[in-house]
Amino acid sequence: MTGKHASWPRTGLLVLLFVLLAVFALFPLYSLALASFKPSKELLRLGLNLKLQPELLTVKNYMFLFSASAKKYMQWYQNSILISLVYTALCLLLSSMVGYGLSMYRFIGRNVVFVLVLLVMMVPVEIIMLPLYKQMIAFRLIDTFSGVILPFVVAPLPIFFFMQYASGLPKDFMDAGRIDGCSEYGIFFRIMMPLMAPAFAAMAILQAMASWNSFVWPLIVIKSSGKMTLPIGLASLITPYGNNYDILIAGSVLAILPILIVFVFFQRYFVSGLTVGGVKG
């Protein structure tokens, strides 16, 4: 048996293994989606399960979310979309510029800045939340979207990722841009940024997902019900006086859609961006 034919059983086993892992990972999503069509009393009686019972299924939960009675839910949804869009755009722009600068330019203190970026990556966010909260009070940004977004727009992980990715790009493009009279900012925006498209796509997915799912920091900063993000708003549905599990689960299913849409649009760049960004040269 040749080596090519001998590899087929191994490949088949790997495919089967990954299919089983995918099915196993999708079971919670299937259970959640199924529960979103069930009345609250059935959820309390049976809990989350994988059994399909057509006679119990209803779309009333979703109809309620889009009704006038659930206007707070739609407000939370809009708040999360706005915060995620602004945060992701600013984070990608600023972090890519910092990472690109550390990678492509040599200046005094460059190594110190790089070490500081690595040190900040090692510090858990929970440790710096109290100083950040005091800063937000001093800047009068409590209960504002700016207070949620600004502390994390220049993140160490995207900086490190963009630095690694940019280090694999040829500097000849920069020299050609200078010869053509392009400024340093023009070189970045017109030449280097398009070459870094896979890196931007990969980080767009990761940072948008991080912002969309963020819970602790928005919970600390936001005080008004009308300014709550979706995770905080959904958590507020569980109270000592009653639990709206049917609305909570249906709202959670809809909360998955934006991240799913972002991944569908950028997924073809995602793997290549992570792979190339993790290897220099």
Q: How far apart are CA 114 and CA 120, in angstroms?
A: 10
The DSSP code for 66 is T
pTM above 0.85, yes or no: no
Candidates 91, 112, 88; CA nearest to 102 is 112
Residue 4 banded pLDDT, cuts 50, 70, 90 = low
Residue 109 banded pLDDT, cuts 50, 70, 90 = confident
Percent of the residues in the chain that have a pLDDT greater than 70, as a whole number? 89
Element (H, E) at 200: helix 197-213
Residue 78 banded pLDDT, cuts 50, 70, 90 = very high
> 210-258 pLDDT, tens per residue?
999 999 999 999 988 889 999 998 888 776 555 677 788 888 888 888 8
What integer best gives the mean pLDDT of the chain?
83
